[in-house]
Structure 1
Amino acid sequence: MNIRSFLVQLGIGLSLLAITILVFELTELDLWVQDNFYISGTAHWLVDKHNDFFRLVFYSGPKAVLHVLFVLALVTLTLSKKSKWVQRHEPGIVIVLLSTIATVLLVGFLKDVTDVPCPSQLTIYGGDYPISSFWIHTLSPEQAARARCFPAGHASGGFALLSLAFLFRRQVNRWCGFALGMGLGWILGVYKMLIGDHFLSHTLVTMCLAWIVTIAVAMAVTRLYRRYPKGFSGKASEPH
């Protein structure tokens, strides 16, 4: 991708983020969607967050796999400098590593400063928190200190893999990498919605942020490797 293409993608991501925030802040779409996951008669969510099997498959398991993949990518980049495959894909590996770190850190920071509660914390879903949003804060200081649900943190690890779109050289493989990141992000995000931890908007915002971060990192890394083609391996990588 050239710089113009990067800027177009960045503009699309920022526009989608702004539209998402405006639509969900000005409507009750979040509540309408979340109502379908809450069984009011029993005051339970469709999926029990304490179910060990679902927690392993959709929470602790994916987190462990993502951590292992991250470490493997880092080790591959630093210890396999003589590998032709690594030399050829080095810019892509760097993009994946940096995008993952930046996405997770950004989402974690926003969760700490936005003071938005989870659906399960709201009075309408059996909690004791009033409805509060990104723009309208109705929580007491004590409640705000425990409201850490926006954006969706768990899904950020999955959406960070959107950066796989820049790992490969063949277009079909890039689309497969993008689809993997999108699919995993939504699987993790929907699970958290089904247990009452996040609204739809929380996951959508995380998706937008992950793509924006990925594009920004890819643009910076691409320019860097065009200027210093030898990169970390000490040898010029093939065109990315």
Structure 2
Amino acid sequence: MENSSRRFIFANLFGLVAAGIVFTWISRSGTFDFWVTQHFFDPVTRTFPLEHNRPLFFWGHAVLKKISVVAWLICIGLAFASIRVRALQSWRQVLLTFIVMGGLASWLVQSLKGASPHSCPYDLAVYGGSDFWFPLFDAVTTIVHKGQCWPGGHASAGFVLIAGYFALREKAPKWARCVLIFSLVLGTVMSAVQVVRGAHFVSHNLWSLWLVWATCVTLHLAIAGYRRLRGRTAIVYDAAVTAEAAPGYRP
């Protein structure tokens, strides 16, 4: 493995561990989450004024989410087209990597969200709802009515485009960095939309970013390992063929 690849992997693994520790502390403390959310809550009406804001929901929720979905569907179409279109064949691996990474990351976040006992801010009793908050990774000791709010599913639709960075990193580094920046900005905006609506705590969205990132790093390592194994197998095979062709070869 090249030194640059080792540094890249080490930096990502170190970042995941460090971020995981910080995010766990934020999620278990709750102080930062509640402090941010309190700014968008009206204690008089005991509601989040922007929860049902139509322009915010349409542009910040429906439209932004479609960007990620459309990008993923376009890549699927291009991957199929690469079977016949010669100009796309060199991009097939990039397209397939993005499709698999993005699809698995999105599936992971949505699966965890669907099984989560943690409720959204506007469902909590402190904000006019009926559910109760408890620290992340704690045993469920209270009755949970709704849950299904950790991690942030909407934010993940923006962050999932990080898969494009990993897919493009070797073939088109400059484009990879552009995709990374775009994904982080899009995911951050989508996170902010949900926070101001009372639909998620900040930590919910931070964990979406972490889970997408972890999925991409894991698959990146798996792909790199497969390539090394395939390369070694090819070397052994070539050596065997060369030996067989050598004069005086005896099995």
Normalization by structure 1: what TM-score?
A: 0.83
Deviation of 1:185 after TM superposition, in Å, equals 0.8
Which residue number in structure 1 is paired with residue 212 of structure 2? 210
191 and 125 in structure 1: CA distance in 2 versus 1, 3 angstrom threshold: same
Which residue number in structure 2 is paired with residue 234 of structure 1? none
Distance 2:96 2:226 in 1: 11
Which ranges of structure 2 fall in alignment gaps of 5 or more residues? 232-251
Which residue number in structure 1 is paired with residue 90 of structure 2? 88
> Which residue of 174, 177, 190 corresponds with 1:175?
177
Which residue number in structure 2 is paired with residue 47 of structure 1? 50
97 and 14 in structure 1: CA distance in 2 versus 1, 3 angstrom threshold: farther
Which ranges of structure 1 fall in alignment gaps of 5 or more residues? 230-240
Calculate percent identity across the aligned residue pairs: 21
228 and 89 in structure 1: CA distance in 2 versus 1, 3 angstrom threshold: farther
Distance 1:131 1:44 in 2: 17
**Deviation digits for residues 32-88 of structure 1 (CA, Å, limit 9, x no counterpart):** 11111112223232523x333222211222233322221110111122235455333
Aligned length: 225
Q: Which runs of 4+ in 1 moved over 4 A?
A: 82-85, 225-229
Of the two, which has the highest radius of gyration? 2
Normalization by structure 2: what TM-score?
A: 0.80
Q: Which amino acid aligns with 1:78?
A: F
Q: Which amino acid aligns with 2:216?
A: T
Deviation of 1:177 after TM superposition, in Å, equals 0.8
Deviation of 1:121 after TM superposition, in Å, equals 0.8
Which residue number in structure 1 is paired with residue 28 of structure 2? 25
44 and 66 in structure 1: CA distance in 2 versus 1, 3 angstrom threshold: same
Distance 1:185 1:107 in 2: 14
Between 105-114 and 116-125, the greater mean CA deviation after superposition: 105-114
Q: What is the root-mean-square deviation in Å for CA atoms of aligned residues?
A: 2.3
